[in-house]
Amino acid sequence: MSKSLCILVARLFALSVILSLLSFSPPTASAQACDRACLTGMMTRFINALVAHDSSTLPLGENFRYTEDSRNARLGEGIWRSVTANGGFRQDYIDTRKQVAAAHVLLREAEAQVLYSVLLHVSNMKIAGIETLVQRVGAGGRLQPSELGKPIRGMNDPVPAGMRNSREEMIRIALTYPEGLRVGNFTDGGTPFAEGAYRVENGVITADQTDPRPHVRTEHHCASRHHFQCGGRR
């Protein structure tokens, strides 16, 4: 993914990771670190355990904490009882410095789709905490996920050397997006969008300059960059 496209997509989810981390302590220097493959594997183990309704396979820390929709819960409760299958879509966001693995996942409850957001915090090779958000998509809902049958465009493309933002830049850029929401438009919020920007909302592209479908370009105001600059949200 290019430096400009990173501004549009990858950093937006980074905000939720940053905010969620506030409830956990950072890893100590003496703790054993979990590398990228390890963190990815932790996420796979969690998703598999969830779908199998069996949390006994998870390496949980001594003071483990679990939340669902911002409420303290226990593994085995909530969606653990109702999920029936893995929906086949998963986008990971790995932060080795903070020992965090986050993901957007498509699950199923019988025929219903579930948009599932999960963040794992790992400490000394064990899961110290899990934060989750559950969004169920009804059959009659206005927005039906249409972009989750394939990888998100550009999200997993490598960033060429010399085009990468620093960690501090990524945090600063990510925070301009909720600021645009807060003030009512992204121009005043100082949110930088590039040409060719697009937004995936609830599994649907709601703004995309390059999409050939007229309703994507016009129904949602404008091409992404100009959409955000001409008011931002409806």
Domain boundaries, the chain: 3-137, 167-229
> Which class does domain 3-137 fall in?
alpha beta
Q: Evaluate if residue 46 carries a pLDDT over 70.
A: yes
With residue 16 as reference, give the H or E element that holds it.
helix 10-21
Q: In Å, how far from its chain's centre is CA 198?
A: 15
- Confidence tier at 197 by pLDDT (50, 70, 90): confident
Report the percent of the chain where pLDDT is more than 90: 53
Q: Evaluate if residue 133 carries a pLDDT over 50.
A: yes
Q: 16-30, 78-92, 110-124: which range is least confident on average? A: 16-30
Q: In Å, how far from its chain's centre is CA 185?
A: 22
Q: 11-20, 64-73, 136-145: which range is least confident on average? A: 11-20
What is the distance between the terminal CA atoms of the chain, rounded to a whole angstrom? 29
pLDDT in tens, 65-99: 999 999 999 999 999 999 999 999 999 999 999 99
Which residue's structure tokens are 């909302």?
A: 201
**Average pLDDT of the residues in 168-177:** 93
What pLDDT is recorded for position 193?
Answer: 87
Pairing between β-strand 60-68 and β-strand 126-137 as defined by DSSP bridges: parallel
Any idea how long the chain is? 234
Task: Look up residue 57 and give its DSSP letter.
Answer: G
> Which pTM does this prediction carry?
0.75
Q: What is the phi/psi pair of residue 4, to 5°?
A: -70, -40
Q: CB–CB of 9/152 below 8 Å?
A: yes
